[in-house]
Amino acid sequence: MSKQHPDVPFAITLDIGSSLANRTGNWRTERPVYLDRLPPCNNACPAGENIQAWLGQAEEGDYEAAWREVMRNNPLPAIMGRACYHPCEGACNRSALDEVINIHAVERFLGDQAIEKNWGPAVEAAPSGKKVLVIGAGPSGLSAAFHLRCQGHTVTIHEAGPVPGGMMRFGIPAYRLPRDIVQAEIDRILAMGVALELNHTVEDIQTEMKNGGFDACFLAIGAHLAKRVDIPTPDAGKILDAIGLLREMETSDNPPLLGRRVVVYGGGNTAIDAARTAKRLGAEQAIIVYRRTREMMPAHDFEVDEALAEGVILNWLTTIKEIDDSGSFVVEKMVLNDEGWPEPTGEFDTIEADSLVLALGQNVDTGFIAKVPGVEIAKDGVIQVGPDMMTGFEGLFAGGDMVPSERTVTVAVGHGKKAARHIDAWLRGERYEHPPRHELADTDKLNTWYYADAPKTVQPELDVIRRQTSFDEVHHGLDETNALYEARRCLSCGNCFECDNCYGVCPDNAVIKLGPGKRFEFNYDYCKGCGICAAECPCGAIEMIPETV
Query: What whole-number distance in Å separates Cα of residue 277 and Cα of residue 298?
Result: 19
Q: What is the widest separation between alpha-carbon atoms in the chain? A: 124
Q: How far is the CB of 416 from ligand FAD (least distance, A)?
A: 8
d(C-alpha 213, C-alpha 208), whole Å: 8
Contacts of range 9-15, beta carbons closer than 8 Å, 24 or more positions apart:
none
Q: Compute the half-sphere exposure of residue 348: CA atoms within 13 Å on the CB side of its CA.
A: 9
160 near ligand FAD, rule: CB under 6 A: yes
User: Residue 101 or 202: which CB sits closer to ligand FAD?
Assistant: 202
**From ligand FAD, other proteins, ligand SF4, none, which one binds at residue 23 (CB under 5 to 8 Å depending on kind)?**
other proteins
- 306 belongs to the binding site for ligand FAD (CB under 6 A): no
The residue from 92, 258, 288, 474 that contacts ligand SF4 (CB under 6 A) is 92
Backbone angles phi, psi at 160, to 5 degrees: -70, -35
Which burial class, exposed, middle or buried, applies to 129 when counting CB atoms under 10 A from its CB (0-12, 13-18, 19+)?
Answer: exposed
Q: How many residues does the structure list for the chain?
A: 549
What x-and-dash track marks residues 105-144 binding ligand FAD by CB under 6 A? ------------------------------xxxxxxx---
Contact 511, 520 (CB under 8 A): yes
DSSP-assigned beta bridge partners for residue 335: 343
Binding of ligand FAD by 167 (CB under 6 A)? yes
Residue 531 near ligand SF4 by CB under 6 A:
yes
The three-state (H, E, C) secondary structure of 501-539, written as one string: HHHHHCCCCCEEECCCCCCEEECCCCCCCCCHHHHHCCC
481 contact choice in ligand SF4, ligand FAD, other proteins, none (CB below 5 to 8 Å, kind-dependent): other proteins
* 300 φ, ψ (degrees, to nearest 5): -70, 145
The pairing of strands 225-226 and 362-363 is antiparallel
Selection from ligand FAD, other proteins, ligand SF4, none that 401 binds (CB < 5 to 8 A by kind) is: ligand FAD
Applying CB under 6 A, the span of 91-99, 217-225, 228-236, 348-356 interacting with ligand FAD comes to 217-225
| Site residues (CB under 6 A) for ligand SF4, limited to 465-524 | 490-493, 496-502, 506, 508, 510-511, 520, 522
Taking CB under 6 A as the criterion, the residue among 308, 313, 377, 532 binding ligand SF4 is: 532
Integer Cα distance of 177 and 80 in angstroms: 9
Strands 318-323 and 328-336, sheet pairing: antiparallel
**Measured distance CA(325)–CA(467) in Å, rounded:** 35
- Residue 66 or 493: the one with the smaller Cβ distance to ligand SF4 is 493
By CB under 6 A, tell whether 59 contacts ligand SF4: no
Pick the closer one to other proteins by CB: 72 or 519.
Answer: 519
* Interface positions with ligand SF4 (CB under 6 A): 32, 34, 39-41, 51-52, 55, 92-94, 101, 103, 490-493, 496-502, 506, 508, 510-511, 520, 522, 527-533, 537-539, 541-542
Where along the sequence are the contacts to ligand FAD (CB under 6 A)?
83-85, 135-141, 158-161, 166-168, 171-172, 201-202, 220-222, 224, 246, 269-270, 273, 400-401, 407-410, 412
